[in-house]
Chain A
C-alpha cells in the first residue's frame, strides 16, 4: 500500500514529505509508548501514534520508520517536524482515533508489525 493510499483511506493531511507519497508501506504499528515502539518495531514500519512531542519523530528515526501518522487530529511539535524534514520522514495527520485508523488500514490489507515476516 502506498503512502498516498494510506493518506486517502485515513483522509489525512500531509504535514511534511508530500514528495514521498508514492513510497510503499508494507506493515504498520500503533502505540503512544515510545519504549514499546523501540522494543517491538521493525525497520520500514508505518508508525501510528498520538504522541506529538519531538521524541515521537526522534524514535521514528532511530527505528527507521518509513512514515508517521498522528491520530485524533494531532500534529507534531515544530521541533519534531524539523527533525522529520531533515531525516526525510513523511508525516500525516488524521482526524480518526487510533483504533479506527489502525482498523481501516488493517482491513484494507496492511498487516501489523508482528505479522510481517518477510524481512527482519
Chain B
C-alpha cells in the first residue's frame, strides 16, 4: 500500500483466472484494509460486495486480472481490468438472470446472472467496457460521504 502527496492510498491486486481456491482473498483483503482505516461499515460492506462479485467474475471467466484500489478522502475507487474472453453484449450481461456460466461456476453458488447488476446496485458510479476476445474493464466509485451522491 502506498500513499501519495494528495493523501491517496493505493494498492494493486493480481487475480488469477480459474483459481477457485483463492477466490475471494482479494475482496477480503480490501475489506480488511477499509476496516483498519475505519470507513463506515455500510460503505465497507458495499465495497466488499462489489469487489467480491468482480473478483469472482475474473476467477470464473478471465485468464488473469488486476484490481486497483485507490482511496481518497472523498471516495473508494476500484478499477478492474482483465484479460479474457470479454463480453460481447454488455446490455445483455447487465440484465439480471442473464448468464453464460458453466455448471462448475453454478456449483460454486455463482453464475446466476446477478454479478454485474449486483455490482452496479452497490456502486455510486459504475462504468463497464469490454472488447470481445480481449477483456473487460470496470470503473467503480463509492462515495464516502453519501450526501454527495446526488
Chief secondary structure at chain B's binding surface:
helix
CB-CB under 8 A from B27, the residues of chain A are 58, 62
B residues contacting the other copy or chain, number (CB 8 A): 27
Chain B CB within 8 A of A13 CB = no
Per-position 1/0 for A32-48, Cβ under 8 A of B: 11111111000100000
B7 lies within 8 A of chain A by Cβ = no
Check A55 against B31 for contact (C-beta < 8 Å): no
Do A38 and B114 contact each other (CB < 8 Å), given the known contacts A32-B109, A33-B109, A55-B108?
yes
Complex CA distance for A43 and B118, rounded to whole angstroms: 16
In the complex, the answer to whether A55 meets B109 with C-beta atoms within 8 Å is yes
Q: Is the CB of A43 within 8 A of B41?
A: yes
Q: Which A84-119 residues have C-beta < 8 A from chain B?
A: none
**B64 close to A (CB within 8 Å):** no
In the complex, A79 has a CB within 8 A of chain B? yes
The reply to whether B24 and A55 form a contact with Cβ atoms under 8 Å apart is yes
Q: A39-B117, A39-B121, A55-B109 are in contact. List 19 more A-B contacts (CB 8 A).
A: A34-B109, A35-B111, A35-B113, A35-B115, A38-B49, A38-B52, A39-B118, A51-B108, A51-B109, A55-B56, A55-B110, A56-B109, A58-B24, A61-B31, A62-B24, A62-B48, A62-B49, A63-B45, A79-B21
Chain B interface (Cβ < 8 Å from any Cβ of A): 20-21, 23-24, 27-28, 31, 41-42, 45, 48-49, 52-53, 56, 107-115, 117-118, 121
